[in-house]
């Protein structure tokens, strides 16, 4: 067996962390659907802090990366690490871009100012480039929302996920605990600064290819991703004997659903809340989730399902949200009028994700693993 390319048997998953990823993904879908009725004003948004789920995902990723790979570098090359991460993430990135292109022509509305006159060739080109996850400049924005992945907006966070993985594999995996602590502390300072000085008092941003948005994206990545890695290395787990998944889920829902704090006259107060959630609350949730245990078969099945579906639903739901947003805008639908269609879209997002998982993601990843990670 070639040790550089051998398939390393995966460690057991933290079941609760898998389930929490699914809870956060469901909150993201609901947040994006409700956003269609906010008029672009965060003060009016229900599930007001749903975007913080991205920062929570980054912390989960950093923790799991540390747990899964920190003790494997004596028998795994950097190339093998990148292969494993590509096999895990890239198939659904491609599917998200394809779904975005397939549904693009159902999304026509004045709220997407750049869609008028877009050719099929341009959409095909953007789809192919989107499959690579390379950020697209504004001239390729076929929607008008300044997205560097205009067919599937949430792909921006996977772009930063890859950056985090690259930094870990090339440099930060070699950091001592002290050096990593210093890095995380500096990143926390940048997080606080951004939250307190952002024009709208939040850490929203990262999806556009310009200097400001790229800076915001890196700020959003660095503390939670490497804070999660540090948490894994330190082994700071909160042992919860009963209902760890339930309590952690309630904490996530509460954090993401909290109303805007401070209003227009106190943006800094909302920024302080978000910085506190990212720096303090999210590590507690991850620590509780990793330290807790699932005892019943039903709870284990729920966590497994949520963990399996979380990534597919996150990376494929937004083309459906584009359609719902266009429908709500064209009809000037109220929240009450849109609620049945919103629920239908929510269920449809999970159905689409489940189909992608079973019919595409799992078989493709299995084939890629056999082809590129199992060598005789």
- Output the pLDDT for position 134: 95
Cβ count near 123 (within 10 Å): 19
- Output the pLDDT for position 276: 98
Residue 3 within a domain: no
Closest to 27 (Cα-Cα) out of 374, 375, 363, 350: 350
Residue 238 within a domain: yes
Q: What is the pLDDT of residues 198-224, one digit of tens each?
A: 999 999 999 999 999 999 999 999 999
Residue 2 within a domain: no
Count the domains in the chain: 1
Residue 112 within a domain: yes
> Does 227 have pLDDT greater than 70?
yes
- Which residue range(s) make up the domain with 194? 13-35+42-370
> Does 88 have pLDDT greater than 50?
yes
Could you give the count of Cα atoms lying within 13 Å of 63 in the half-sphere of its Cβ?
28
- Output the pLDDT for position 172: 98
For residue 109, what are the contacts with CB-CB under 8 A and spacing of at least 6? 115, 325, 326, 327, 329, 330
| DSSP H helices in the chain | 15-35, 52-69, 78-102, 120-132, 155-170, 177-197, 211-234, 244-257, 267-276, 282-291, 297-316, 318-331, 335-356, 362-372
Mean pLDDT, range 270-279, rounded to an integer: 97
Mean pLDDT, range 168-180, rounded to an integer: 98
Residue 295 within a domain: yes
> Does 281 have pLDDT greater than 50?
yes
Residue 1 within a domain: no
For residue 319, what are the contacts with CB-CB under 8 A and spacing of at least 6? 96, 99, 100, 102, 103, 104, 107, 151, 152
Burial level of 43, CB count in 10 A (0-12/13-18/19+)? middle
Mean pLDDT, range 268-289, rounded to an integer: 97
> Does 266 have pLDDT greater than 80?
yes
> Does 340 have pLDDT greater than 60?
yes
Q: What is the pLDDT of residues 37-86, one digit of tens each?
A: 988 787 888 899 999 999 999 999 999 999 999 999 999 999 999 999 99
Q: What is the DSSP letter of 200?
A: T
Q: What is the pLDDT of residues 102-152, one digit of tens each?
A: 999 999 999 999 999 899 999 999 999 999 999 999 889 999 999 999 999
Residue 254 within a domain: yes
Mean pLDDT, range 78-96, rounded to an integer: 97
- Output the pLDDT for position 11: 65
- Output the pLDDT for position 15: 93
CA distance 373 to 262: 52
Residue 376 within a domain: no
> Does 372 have pLDDT greater than 80?
yes
Closest to 221 (Cα-Cα) out of 284, 135, 285, 160: 160
CA 129-63-79 angle, to 5 degrees, is 50
Q: What is the pLDDT of residues 282-339, one digit of tens each?
A: 999 999 999 998 878 898 999 999 999 999 999 999 999 999 999 999 999 999 999 9
For the chain, what is the radius of gyration of the CA atoms?
20
CA distance 175 to 190: 20
> Does 4 have pLDDT greater than 50?
no
Q: How confident is the model at residue 9 (pLDDT cuts 50, 70, 90)?
A: low
Closest to 26 (Cα-Cα) out of 224, 336, 357, 309: 309
Q: DSSP per residue over 100-164, as a string?
A: HHHTGGG---TTSTT-TT--HHHHHHHHHHHHHTPPPPGGG-SSSS--SSTTSTTHHHHHHHHHH
> Does 196 have pLDDT greater than 90?
yes
Share of the chain above pLDDT 90, in %: 86
CA distance 49 to 45: 8
**Mean pLDDT, the chain, integer:** 94
């Amino acid at each position: 067996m070639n040790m550089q390319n051998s398939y390393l048997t995966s460690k057991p998953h933290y079941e609760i962390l898998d389930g929490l990823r699914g809870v956060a993904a469901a909150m993201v879908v609901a947040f994006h659907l409700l956003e269609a009725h906010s008029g672009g004003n965060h003060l009016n948004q229900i599930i007001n802090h749903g975007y913080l789920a991205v920062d929570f995902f980054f912390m989960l990723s950093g923790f799991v990366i540390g747990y899964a790979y920190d003790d494997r570098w004596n028998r795994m090359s950097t190339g093998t690490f990148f292969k494993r991460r590509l096999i895990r993430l890239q198939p659904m990135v491609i599917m998200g871009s394809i779904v975005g292109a397939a549904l693009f022509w159902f999304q026509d509305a004045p709220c997407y100012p750049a869609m008028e006159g877009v050719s099929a060739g341009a959409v095909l080109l953007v789809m192919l480039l989107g499959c690579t996850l390379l950020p697209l400049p504004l001239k390729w924005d076929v929607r008008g929302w300044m997205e560097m992945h205009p067919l599937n907006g949430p792909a921006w966070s996977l772009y930063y996920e890859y950056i985090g993985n690259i930094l870990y594999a090339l440099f930060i995996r070699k950091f001592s605990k002290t050096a990593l602590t210093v890095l995380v502390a500096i990143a926390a300072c940048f997080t606080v600064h951004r939250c307190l000085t952002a024009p709208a008092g939040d850490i929203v941003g990262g999806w556009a290819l310009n200097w400001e948005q790229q800076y915001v994206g890196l700020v959003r990545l660095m503390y939670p991703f490497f804070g999660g890695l540090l948490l894994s290395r330190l082994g700071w787990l909160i042992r919860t004997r009963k209902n760890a998944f339930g309590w952690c889920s309630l904490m996530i829902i509460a954090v993401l659903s909290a109303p805007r704090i401070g209003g227009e006259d106190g943006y800094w107060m909302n920024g302080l809340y978000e910085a506190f959630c990212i720096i303090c609350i999210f590590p507690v949730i991850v620590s509780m989730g990793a330290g807790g245990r699932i005892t019943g078969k039903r709870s284990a099945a729920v966590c497994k399902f949520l963990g399996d579906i979380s990534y597919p639903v996150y990376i494929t739901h937004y083309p459906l949200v584009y359609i719902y947003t266009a429908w709500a805008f064209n009809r000037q639908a109220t929240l009450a009028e849109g609620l049945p269609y919103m629920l239908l879209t929510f269920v449809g997002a999970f159905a689409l994700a489940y189909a992608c998982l079973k019919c595409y993601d799992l078989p493709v990843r299995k084939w890629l693993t056999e082809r590129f990670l199992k060598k005789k």
